[in-house]
Chains A and B, each alone.
Chain A
Amino acid sequence: MNVIETIELTKRYGKRVVVDQLSLTVGKGEVFGFLGPNGAGKTTTIAMLLGLVKPTKGRALVLGHDVQHEPSLALRRVGAMIEAPAFYPYLSGADNLRVLARAGGIATERVAQVLDIVELRDRARDKVATYSQGMKQRLAIAAALLPDPELIMLDEPTNGLDPAGTVEIRNLIRNLAAGGRTILLCSHLLHEVEQLCQRVAIMKEGKLIAAGDVAHLLRRGQGVRARVQGDPGPAVRLLKALNWVASVTVQGDTILIDAPVERTAEINKLLIKADIVVTEIGASNSSLEEFFLTVTRSDT
């Protein structure tokens, strides 16, 4: 069963298309990375999935229900944290959660449970105005956990956190995922996404430009990298002429060759034969970060 399904979901503000015919699915129990540069349309998509922003066209289904037509059913077991944590500064952490619990018809006993999960019990009676950014972030996750959610949407959950706080939140997400919940994770920390997510979707300027298993996408990004002395132009021209080389790009002083890693020695030999001095050559083990940068840069 798909926990999230969007069908040609589109949001326009005037002539500006913020989300353009987005169709994607997230299955039950998945930890799904939702990536893209700033302004790609990720937050707007999440807001549409939560019924906060009305789509111009298309549909958003959450837990099998249309968010626009059956919002209560769709969002009953959904927890979300969008961008910066938002709370009533004059209320304590626990009271903020009580307000949300009451609004959603959730038993207030659940407040103590979620405060335990995010380890905020000791400061629960203090006003939110006195909380650090990390504590607010944890309280926002506690708020997302209130309805004992099947689906959790986390938009930049480690924003503004120090390294220790980031690790803490990452472990928390890992624990939540281990409990069989579906998690939609938006983050600029791609190393974090690579560690946590099984599948990712990458958006750019409102469009879905890549989606699939993390392992599969990374395999796609594998190839050969080489450095040559002087102008890389002749080397690029030589490599581009080979029919088993899919593409050649230059990043700084490095030539990235989309070709089977087994042919590294052959590439080296060809370059030397053409009087090109190779200073370094080897397999490029693409990280999600590299893959992300490649697809978001190349597709403009």
Chain B
Amino acid sequence: MSNIPADLRYASSHEWARLDADGNVTVGISDHAQEALGDVVFIELPEVGKTLAAGQEAGVVESVKAASDIYAPIGGEVIAVNDSLADSPENVNTDPYGSWFFKLKPSAADELDKLLDADAYKASADA
């Protein structure tokens, strides 16, 4: 059974989003997603400074099995990306919630509320 922390929000496309103390939102992919992908070997991250709409393609995760797009769970400007994933993409498999992909400065404060909570995500991932 995959791990779904209760304090995070989720997109049905399997990204997690965490509201940070400074009001920015950190994004990664869920345990369920990394398990389905298999060993992650390469990650393409968005450019810092780019503004993404909710649901817009933000990057690509390549596993030994396949390439999968990752999407911005909410709209906002990319203010940081996790460069350490370039050298250690396998961290996404071992620590999916510690291995963040990028941070967004949200375009609208309430967008996070539109995402799934842990229970709703669990229901959607099981379906």
A and B: real partners?
no
